[in-house]
Amino acid sequence: MSNQQPSEQRLWGGRFTGASDPLMDLYNASLPYDQKMYAADIEGTRVYTMGLEKLGLITKEELSEIHRGLKLILAEWSEGKFVEKPGDEDIHTANERRLGELIGKNISGKVHTGRSRNDQVATDMRIYVREELTKLAGFLKSFIEVIIKRATKEIDVLMPGYTHLQRAQPIRWSHWLSMYATYFTEDYKRLLQIIERTNVSPLGSGALAGHPYGIDREFLAAELGFNGVIGNSLTAVSDRDFVVESMFWSSLFMNHISRFSEDLIIYSTGEFGFIKLADAYSTGSSLMPQKKNPDSLELLRGKSGRVFGSLAGFMMSIKSIPSTYNKDMQEDKEPLFDSLLTVEHSILIATGVISTLNIDAEKMEAALTMDMLATDLADYLVRKGVPFRETHHISGECVRTAEVEKLSGIDQLTMEQFKKIDARFEQDVFETFNFEQSVERRTATGGTAKSAVLKQLTNLQSQF
């Protein structure tokens, strides 16, 4: 015997008289995951009923009783005491059913006057997403500040910079940190923009055609902390761009965190040995006792695919749905919730990793090789008036000669050998072969000189 809720008790019941397929009830239900929005749903109802009271559709006494019941429901959810029952299709149904049990259906039955689940769920989603993104912004800000603090403290450490994973030119470790702090700061600024676009109210749009009693939508928006209202009721109930943007932002952030992780994984290998992760963010091997695996970083890299997949999946769900609200939109919640939670955990893990890892400055600097100063050698001749395209060729000839002579580096060429390659070389050419001077020559904005890196870090800090 089915214990499903009779159709007349459903928010959409009335004309439906037959029992539904139990599997359809399960397939249709969203309470297992949309209960995350319980606080947003209760707050939306609290404010909406204030709007109804302004219209005279409920009395002040009824409003007080509704708010009393909502407060009790909020406490039940917060304390883990809310009892779900068959027929609790979603968070909206569950809360309204419980409100009726607490204050009576004669009063609770009025809270949905002029409201549809279409504008209700859109409102709940925007409140929930706004709060979650704001929380992420706080975590991300802390993460960036940790990177900036570390970069400032370790400003004097030199290391190879890479292109194509080949040693390219000497840089500062802090310059590498500043690079990712820059990526993440751009993520932070984009996140604030998305919060702003999310923070507009659909409430009072009804199912799609607007409110039949002329409710004050601007009042509802202000009371719920929105910056304004969505001006078209059709758009209000059907727009999920804020969900797409949130998931796109999550994907882009995870792309950056994946690249950040990949670099650190490489730097932690025995072949590099630049960094050593704290035990809290590493694991051992079940077979090889000498192993220390960078599992935290590998998970950060791996979970980026999970977030990318959520975005792609949802885009396919909404790509061709007609206006306005369609049940396909219910598929927004699980991928969005999972993406936001994954990003939250990823920021916190990445913050822990960068806060606790140790660097080996000696190994970083030992990895610097004289061939990385080939561009500096070309620049030496540029300063003597030789065109760069010519100096590039001359510097390459110096590298080739050192290789043919099996020398350890271009700095081992003799003055005679330099002169043979190009007569414009002078004794001061040997001053070129200094890694510290190489990075210090790059003083232009964005460069790797100490002054330039400190300026980068100061500018990044000023963004907050």
446, 452 in Cβ contact below 8 A?
A: yes
Provide the token pair at 36.
């995350």
> Phi, psi at residue 204, to the nearest 5°?
100, 10
DSSP state of 327: G
Both ends of the chain: CA-CA distance in Å? 60
Choosing from 2, 285, 408, 451, which is the catalytic residue? 285
CA dihedral 88, 89, 91, 95 (to 10 degrees): -40
CB 46, CB 64: distance < 8 Å: no
Q: Which tokens belong to 289?
A: 């006792």
- Position of tokens 């403290």? 153
Question: Which residue, among 136, 83, 141, has the nearest Cα to 336 in the 3D structure?
Answer: 136
Q: Are 200 and 221 in contact (CB under 8 A)?
A: yes
CB 66 within 8 A of CB 82: no
Which secondary-structure segment (H or E) carries 200? none
Q: How far is CA 344 from the centre of its chain?
A: 7
Q: How far apart are CA 70 and CA 98, in angstroms?
A: 9
Q: How many CA atoms lie within 13 A of 63 on its CB side?
A: 15
* Bond from prior residue into 324 cis (ω within 30 degrees of 0): yes
Determine contact, residues 224/244, Cβ cutoff 8 Å: no
The reply to whether 201 belongs to the active site is no
Q: Using DSSP, state whether 441 is helix, strand or coil.
A: coil
Contact (Cβ atoms closer than 8 angstroms) between residue 443 and residue 452:
yes
Active site residue 285: yes
Helix axes 333-356, 241-268, angle to 10 degrees: 30
Residues recognised as catalytic: 164, 285
